[in-house]
Amino acid sequence: MFSKPIFKQSVRSNGALWLVITLVTSALFSNFIIRFDPADFGALSSAAEGTAFGSVLSGFGTILGTLGTFYEMIAIMLGLVYIIFSANNLVVNEVDSGSMAYTLSTPIRRSTVIFTKMAYMIGSIVLMFGILTGVGLGVSELAHHNVSGSPMTEDVEATADAMDRKPSYVRKHLYMIKDDKYAMQAGAEARKMDKTAYGEYLDQAILRDSYKAAATKLTDNRQDKYSDSDKDKDEIEITEQELAKKPQLMMKDNDALEAGAKVTGQSVNGYRNSVND
C-alpha cells in the first residue's frame, strides 16, 4: 500500500515549492506577531467599522484576533496555492510527460501509487501547518510572552527598566510597581495615563491575575477531590470569571487563597479581607 521510491520522488518534485511556501508564510506570520501593537491595530479595526472591511478587521484589537485574520487571509491562501501546484505536479504533469504510464507499467499496484501520493500530500500539509504553529507559538512567546500566560506590555517593560528588573519578573509581581514611584511614573507614561488612573489599572490587573492563580489552584484541588466521581470537567473547573463573580468560592480553600495572595504580595489573611471587601 505504500511505496518508498514513489514517496521520495514526490518529495523531490515538490520539496522546493513546499519549502518556499512554508518559509514565506512563517516569515509573514512572525512579522505579524512581532509588529503587533494593540493600540495601532485597535485603531485600524475601529476605523474600518461600518465599511466593507469592517468584519474582516474586527478582530485586529487582540493578537489572537489578528492571527485568526492572518490564517483566514494569508496562511490558508498560500496553503491552497501549495495544494494546487503540488497536486498538479503529482498527477497532471506526470500524465502529460508520460512518467505516470511508466510508473503504472511496473509491478506497483495503482492503489499503492495513489495511496503513496495521497500520503505525501496530506503529510506535507500537516507538517507545513505544524511548523507554522510552532513558529507562531515560539515568536509569540519571545515577543509578547503570550504562550506562558504573561503577556509583556509596554508599561511592564518601562517599569522593569525603572526598577532595573527583568520584565518577566515584574509581570509576575505587578504589586512591586505600586511601591516604586519612579516605576509608577514610567508605567503611567507608557500607558498614557496619569498616575492615579494607572494605579487603578494596576489594581484591576493584579486582582485579575490573583483570581486566575486562585482559580487554577482551586480547580486542581477539586479535580483531586472529585477524581472518582461522575462529575464532568465543566462541573469541576472553576474559571477566573466565575471566581471574580463569586470570590466566596475560594474562602474555604487555603491553597487557592495562598496562590491569590502571592500574586498580590499580601498575606493570606490580608488577601481574604481585601477580596471580601
The confidence score (pLDDT) of residue 48 equals 61
The confidence score (pLDDT) of residue 113 equals 80
Q: What is the C-alpha to C-alpha distance for residues 23 and 128, in angstroms, rounded to an integer?
A: 9
Query: Residues of the chain whose pLDDT is less than 50?
Result: none
Residue 158 near residue 189, CB atoms below 8 Å:
yes
pTM: 0.58
The confidence score (pLDDT) of residue 23 equals 94
- Residue 205, number of CB atoms within 10 A of its CB: 17
H helix intervals, 38-180: 38-47, 63-70, 76-87, 93-97, 99-104, 110-144, 154-163, 167-172, 175-178
The confidence score (pLDDT) of residue 252 equals 86
pLDDT in tens, 195-246: 999 999 899 989 989 999 999 998 888 888 777 667 777 778 888 888 888 8
pLDDT in tens, 88-109: 888 776 766 667 666 667 777 8
Residue 261 near residue 234, CB atoms below 8 Å:
no
Q: Spell out the domain ranges in the chain.
A: 4-144, 154-276
